[in-house]
Amino acid sequence: MSSPVGVVPANDSALAADLRNVEADQHGNPDGGAAEPRETSGVTTAGLLTYVRDRGGPEAVARLIERAGVAATADELADQSRWFSHETRVRLFQAATEVFDDPRVMFDVGAAALRNKVAYSLVLVLRALGTPRQVFRRLPRTAAKFTTVQSMELLESTATSASVAIHLAEGYPHSPLDCDYTQGLVTTIPEIFGLAPGSIASAECLVGHGRACVYRVTWERRRRLRRGRRGDGAIDPELSALRGQLRTLQSTATDLVGSDDLDTVLRRIVARAGEAVLAPGHLLAVEAPDGGPPLVHSAGIPESQVQDLASRLLSGQGIGPGAVVVDVASARRWHGRLAALFPSSEDPTEDEHAMLAAYAGHAAAALDLLIALEDARLEASRAGALLSLAHELAATTEADGICAVVAEALPRVVGCSSAAVMLWDPAQGTLRAQGSINVHRPERHVFRKTPLRPENTPELVDMLTTREPRIIKHATSSPGLRAMLDQIDVTDVVVVPLVAGTTFLGVATASWESGEAAEELGGDVLGRLRGVGDQATSALQRARLLETVRHQATHDALTGLPNRVLFLERLLSALEESESGAPVSVLFCDLDGFKQVNDALGHAAGDELLRQVAARLRAAIRPCDTVGRLSGDEFAVILPGLTDAADAHGLAARVEECFAEPFRLEGREVAVGTSVGVAVHESGTTAEELLKKADAAMYRHKQDRRAARPLG
């Protein structure tokens, strides 16, 4: 074997041993629970229970726990934020073989990991790496998310195989069932990319000094065409994971705003973060709302180290080379910080940081809400309105809906006669009403359609510059703004900017007709409006995150083109909308020489080539056509509304012509061609069948071109 390509040692730092040996107390396992060393992630036990329940029902789960003799309940074992001892893990594995009288059941448990729908964030992190080979290169760090007593070493990798070694820490007995489970688990990696499951070509246990097990995994390189009903989450593991992550984000928001007890909310934040970012340890430290000592919650960190780490975390000092740290902050205030601690010093992925930041955002929104509620207890009706708003926002994922919900809530919370939420369009440089309430009906349409521009509205320029609230009076407002106030019969307005970090999102406004406004609008009224504005900001941030997730689910991350899922949806829509005499055609394109570019110039050059190809294809097609990247170097184009097959072949020729000029890669000109297949829809042909016909035509084209080349 060659020398190791990547390895994460079992004891990368002193913190690694501490994270492995710490016993869970009220800080360790959320909501309390049996004290156990945190050596194996709840993702593993949750996956096992899901498999057992699917195969044998609830009775099999009960027998499993009884035979294993563990103290944890089924709900605790299914909690992915918890950690358990290595002994508990092995006892559960042994009990599973006894329940089903199947000595190879643990291999099947590992192989069913993707179907069990656990660790959504991990599936997305691995999918983003691009290929099974890249995932195996990343596995040494990934293994640390599941266990603190085992480490993984990548010995060798190719495009279709990998050899890995699993090292067990000293003092822990080897279990053949653990090996079976790990072997099954690594065979699922190709499935993340739509490939057939891998297979174990060879396996050796306790080699070397007797503490390592070595496996060689092989897989097919060609991606399978996905089958299944359109919209079925099982079509693609990434799509299923994205949907699961969406549900988790939404349920987290609802869960956090569902309690007005600060201690409960902080504990839930740590538990939810443990599900989102798999790590042996998590730490949350926030400033107390009443100015007292900081509030600290942790999981998987020795009690003796918690206070010191919390102080360093709040002060901005480093807490370890393997820590992912994010701010718990809203547009209104900074609360503290949230951290996930890894035993490895390897840099965290962007996905880990982004997901932890998303949960920190939920935490900030929850903390803001609690502080606002504490101030609002003197006004019970308004407190009820704030709670209602929070729950409605938690269930709303679109920007339009969020603006409507906020605008409707403002009169009840603030006591104004009318309200609006206006969003900033940075591309157009305008501020436009997106949601309004109690604006006089005849003028409402005009109000929604009339944008505010900085060049005509000095008040907007000031707000873009200072990001501070403003109290606007009709008599002293600028001419352009006064004309709008006249249209909607408003004389007094309190405006609060919606700012996420340094990004100006828009404004929330509370307004009154002549004679209705209180003398003082800058105190309690402004405070309540700012509280609602903070919730609106958090909700709009969440909507943007969800929109990003939706976009990632349907678009290729490298080129920005529709992926196979969205391409097939648009092809089906085109077939349904096509009229008689105007059939739909499909072009299937495969690059010639893409592998040689990757081999000669590297994957970065290959990625740049794919981006340039996408740009040329966009330029070559008509505005009504759709080009998508299906996989690797395969592209396809939907051609609706063509009169006959000759038109489709003409467009295919145009696509081929866009490859006539060489591509500029790594400072040199590289000639890359394409093979194009054409398929024209016929009555009764499905979208999948039409795509297959185009694929087959492309291969015939490629073979014909090869046959036409002169020998020698």
Range of the domain at 382: 377-551
Q: Of 205, 230, 255, which one is at a domain's C-terminal end?
A: 230
pLDDT for 628 equals 93
152 and 28 co-located in one domain? yes
Q: Kindly state the tokens that stand for 153.
A: 């070493």
Asked if residue 697 lies in contact with residue 677, where contact means CB atoms within 8 angstroms, the answer is yes
Residue 299 lies inside a defined structural domain of this protein:
no
Residue 318's Cβ-side half-sphere holds a number of Cα atoms within 13 Å equal to 4
Asked if residue 620 lies in contact with residue 612, where contact means CB atoms within 8 angstroms, the answer is no
Report the CATH number that the domain containing residue 416 is assigned in CATH: 3.30.450.40
Length of the chain: 712
541 and 623 co-located in one domain? no
DSSP-assigned beta bridge partners for residue 592: 673
Asked if residue 549 lies in contact with residue 597, where contact means CB atoms within 8 angstroms, the answer is no
Q: Helix (H, G, I), strand (E, B), or coil: what is residue 646?
A: helix
546 and 617 co-located in one domain? no
Beta strand spans in 521-650 (E): 585-592, 626-631, 634-639
pLDDT for 7 equals 33
DSSP string, 295-328: EEEEESS-HHHHHHHHHHHHHT----TTEEEEEE
pLDDT for 614 equals 93
64 and 194 co-located in one domain? yes
Q: Kindly state the tokens that stand for 68.
A: 């294993």
Q: How far apart are CA 271 and CA 204, in angstroms?
A: 37
523 and 418 co-located in one domain? yes
Residue 250 lies inside a defined structural domain of this protein:
no
Helices 524-554/380-394 angle, 10° precision: 10
Q: Kindly state the tokens that stand for 270.
A: 């740590």
Report the CATH number that the domain containing residue 646 is assigned in CATH: 3.30.70.270
486 and 579 co-located in one domain? no
Note the pTM of the prediction, 2 decimals: 0.42
Residues of the chain with pLDDT under 70: 1-35, 116-130, 141, 144, 207-210, 223-260, 276, 290-292, 343-351, 372-383, 439-446, 448, 519, 579-581, 708-712
505 and 606 co-located in one domain? no
Query: How many domains does one find in the chain?
Result: 3
Residue 367 lies inside a defined structural domain of this protein:
no
Q: How far apart are CA 590 and CA 47, in angstroms?
A: 39
Residue with tokens 């999918």: 127
Residue with tokens 């866009």: 658
Q: Kindly state the tokens that stand for 301.
A: 């960190």
Q: Helix (H, G, I), strand (E, B), or coil: what is residue 499?
A: strand
Residue 23 lies inside a defined structural domain of this protein:
yes
CA angle 675, 676, 680 (to 5 degrees): 160
571 and 546 co-located in one domain? no
Residue 89 lies inside a defined structural domain of this protein:
yes
Task: Give the DSSP H or E segment for 510.
Answer: strand 503-512
Q: Of 500, 528, 551, which one is at a domain's C-terminal end?
A: 551
DSSP string, 154-187: EEEE-SSEEEEEEEEPTT----HHHHHHHHHHHT
547 and 635 co-located in one domain? no
Residue 586 lies inside a defined structural domain of this protein:
yes
Task: Give the DSSP H or E segment for 203.
Answer: strand 199-207
Q: Of 551, 575, 591, which one is at a domain's C-terminal end?
A: 551
**Which residues, other chains included, contact 145 with Cβ-Cβ below 8 Å and sequence gap of 6+?**
41, 43, 119, 122, 278, 279, 342
Q: How far apart are CA 290 and CA 267, in angstroms?
A: 19
Report the CATH number that the domain containing residue 85 is assigned in CATH: 3.90.1520.10
Q: How far apart are CA 324 and CA 322, in angstroms?
A: 7
476 and 605 co-located in one domain? no
Q: Helix (H, G, I), strand (E, B), or coil: what is residue 213?
A: strand
Q: Kindly state the tokens that stand for 376.
A: 């609002």
577 and 685 co-located in one domain? yes
629 and 568 co-located in one domain? yes
**Which residues, other chains included, contact 400 with Cβ-Cβ below 8 Å and sequence gap of 6+?**
434, 435
Residue 584 lies inside a defined structural domain of this protein:
yes
Residue 122 lies inside a defined structural domain of this protein:
yes
Please list, residue by residue across 183-219, b when 16 or more beta carbons sit within 10 angstroms of its beta carbon and e when fewer do: bbbbbbbbbbbbbebbeeeeeeeeeeeebbbbbbbbb
